[in-house]
Amino acid sequence: MAKGHADKIAVITGGATGIGQAFARRLAEDGARIVIADFAPADETLALVAARGRPARAVVTDVSTPEGVDALAAAVAREFGGCDILINNVGIFPNRPFDEVSFADWKRVMAVNLDSMFLTAKAFVPGMKARGWGRIVNMASNTVATAVTGYTHYIASKGGVIGFTRALASDLGPSGITVNAIAPSLTRTTGTTTTNPRAPERFDHVASFQVIKRTQTVDDLVGAMSFLTSDDAAFITGQTLYVDGGWVRR
């Protein structure tokens, strides 16, 4: 178990399923109190957290909008008093050739994948500054380095996540707040297996580029997240950690 999670309040966006759910489970095991923000109800995640004996709350909201984040921040303040650990995990990944991407498509992906991170940071950073401690982890993607086809708007948004992470780390470092990003490969989740009818073939294709030649799972990501949000990572900030089986090596 990493150090420094006991009784910390962790807010995880997109935590109803998939990677966010795995993060909630691990942080509960580490001793944190959990708040899930998602478009959908998070009953399954709440049950996993409760089974580990930790308090949890779910807020059904759209964190890509100021109103949605205001509702989340109010719930966190009312029930837990603030946020110590912010995991910006929510994201959408539509596959569409560039010629078919409308401006509305572009704006929606940017809103969910990037604007949400700005809005949640604006909401929770003041409290972190007041306490002199905070951890922010933003979910990026190794597609920024691999540039696969059909995801122009998605990859652009994740490039923005990496830039935002570096810049925000510079601003917040003097206040005892670290900001880092995790960039996974294609990860097996309910979302990635149900949205693509060619998912098994796609997983095998991606694995062929990796040094570790198997499909990435959510359990491959929880250790990196736990470390980056712990006291052990107090001197690491502004970094993007590629957790992708060795596809991207930098």
Tokens of 208: 């062929």
| Terminal C-alpha separation, the chain | 27
Instruction: Enumerate residues 6+ apart whose C-beta is below 8 A from 66.
Output: 119
Order of all β-strands in the sheet with 177-184: 56-60, 33-38, 9-13, 85-88, 134-139, 177-184, 240-243
Q: Give the active site residue among 93, 151, 154, 164.
A: 154
* 34, 49 contact by CB (below 8 A): yes
Q: What whole-number distance in Å separates Cα of residue 162 and Cα of residue 166?
A: 6
Asked about 154 being catalytic, the answer comes back as: yes
* 135, 229 contact by CB (below 8 A): yes
Nearest to 35 by CA among 24, 47, 48: 24
H/E element holding 12?
A: strand 9-13
Q: What is the DSSP letter of 3?
A: S
On the 0-12 / 13-18 / 19+ scale of CB atoms within 10 A, 99 is exposed
Tokens of 141: 């993607």
Q: What whole-number distance in Å separates Cα of residue 118 and Cα of residue 135?
A: 15
Q: What whole-number distance in Å separates Cα of residue 70 and Cα of residue 37?
A: 12
As annotated, the active-site residues are 154
